């Protein structure tokens, strides 16, 4: 049963806390900040999410994505995600990769998260392309009655370059709590009804949130190292962002902005076989490193 050891750990912590209230003694060993040990956890399923799509997905969901001069984000992400899915299953032993989008047609944010949770994903990787908004520039257009006349125009900003990793922001913690209760903790409750006010449920939920967040940041850091040290890509950073798909996927999650599609040089790289292969290989190596790390006996 998924993460059943976590449930046992929580009961153990509660029991120890009770003992502390009944007895007093002096400890001579330093207190460990994280004593959770692995209970045979195996990373089995990676969800690969190709950002955006060719159609809108309902009112308010205009998710066509960014575009360059020769391609669109929705085309590039599907190509990279499809190659990534095949590469994961070929190169990482025992790991299944599930695509949230297999065709050019868009999939709603809600459905993407549902696919991830329905397939019991252990890691969620969302592929996107970045773009900078146009700059506004005041330009002199003439003279009137001896005074200069200016007009404000929009100028494309094509200076963006590099990769960016996003993890979910704490502003949407409540939403993630609900998803974790629905998709993760219920499995640890032996089929019983889940009481959201039960202290055990609250403790379990908070522990999952902490664990998923730590692992999301860990995966983002591994990716950053691969992109910079191996591929010599520029790193835009690792940032928090309150994105629906990240906080509604009840698992560690990272969104990767693989490059700036409105920068001609980057767009050429993102559309080339060599560039896409390099991106895919970096992500596969990162997943393997992450897998090795989370499957260790102690964290």
Domain of 50, CATH number, reads 3.40.630.40
- Domain assignment present for 27: no
In a domain, 155, yes or no: no
Average pLDDT, the chain: 79
pLDDT at 23 over 70: no
pLDDT of residue 163: 97
Task: Give residue 5's pLDDT band: very low, low, confident or very high (50, 70, 90).
Answer: very low
Domain annotation covers residue 273 = yes
Average pLDDT over residues 34-39: 47
Instruction: Round to the nearest angstrom and report the end-to-end CA distance of the chain.
Output: 21
For 120-177, the pLDDT digits (tens) are 999 999 999 999 988 887 877 778 888 877 788 888 889 999 999 999 876 555 555 5
Q: How far apart, in whole angstroms, are the C-alpha atoms of residue 76 and residue 152?
A: 33
Q: What is the pLDDT of residue 118?
A: 94
What is the tens place of the pLDDT at every residue in 42-63?
A: 999 999 999 998 875 555 455 6
Tell me if 299 sits within 8 A of 252, measured CB to CB.
no
On whether the CB atoms of residues 246 and 173 are closer than 8 A, the answer is no
What is the pLDDT at residue 198? 54
Give phi and psi for 258, each to the nearest 5: -80, -5
Q: How distant, in Å, are the alpha carbons of 6, 40, 187, 203 from that of 10?
A: 6, 17, 15, 7
Residue 258 three-state SS: strand
Torsion (CA) 214, 95, 245, 50 in degrees, nearest 10: 130
Residue 239 binned pLDDT confidence (cut-offs 50, 70, 90): very high
Question: What pLDDT score was predicted for residue 167?
Answer: 93
pLDDT value at position 249?
Answer: 86
**CA–CA dist 279, 277 (Å, integer):** 5
In a domain, 219, yes or no: yes
pTM of the model: 0.76
234/213 Cα distance (integer angstroms)? 24
142: β partners: 149
Total domains, the chain: 1
Domain that holds residue 243: 43-131+160-294
Is residue 142 domain-resident? no
E-strand stretches of 113-184: 123-130, 135-144, 147-155, 163-168
């Amino acid at each position: 049963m998924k993460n059943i050891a976590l449930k046992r750990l929580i009961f153990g912590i509660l029991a120890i806390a009770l003992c502390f209230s009944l007895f007093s003694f002096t400890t001579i060993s330093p207190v460990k900040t994280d004593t959770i040990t692995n209970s045979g956890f195996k990373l089995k399923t990676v969800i690969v999410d190709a950002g955006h799509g060719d159609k809108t997905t309902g009112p308010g969901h205009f998710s066509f994505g960014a575009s360059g001069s020769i391609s669109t984000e929705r085309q590039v992400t599907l190509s990279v995600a499809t190659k990534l899915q095949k590469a994961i299953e070929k190169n990482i032993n025992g790991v299944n990769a599930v695509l949230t989008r297999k065709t050019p047609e868009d999939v709603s944010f809600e459905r993407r998260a549902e696919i991830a949770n329905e397939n019991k994903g252990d890691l969620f990787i969302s592929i996107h392309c970045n773009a900078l908004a146009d700059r506004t520039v005041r330009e002199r257009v003439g003279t009137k009655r001896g005074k200069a006349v200016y007009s404000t125009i929009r100028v494309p900003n094509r200076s963006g370059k590099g990769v960016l990793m996003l993890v979910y922001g704490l502003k949407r913690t409540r939403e993630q709590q609900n998803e974790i209760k629905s998709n993760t903790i219920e499995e640890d409750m032996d089929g019983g009804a889940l009481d959201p006010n039960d202290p055990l449920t609250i403790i379990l939920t908070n522990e999952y949130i902490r664990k998923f967040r730590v692992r999301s940041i860990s995966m983002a850091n591994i990716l950053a190292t691969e992109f910079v040290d191996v591929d010599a890509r520029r790193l835009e950073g690792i940032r928090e962002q309150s994105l629906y798909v990240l906080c509604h996927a009840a698992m560690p999650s990272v969104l990767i902005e693989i490059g700036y599609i409105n920068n001609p040089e980057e767009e050429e790289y993102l559309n080339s076989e060599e560039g896409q292969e390099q991106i895919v290989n970096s992500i596969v190596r990162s997943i393997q490193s992450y897998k090795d790390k989370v499957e260790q006996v102690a964290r």
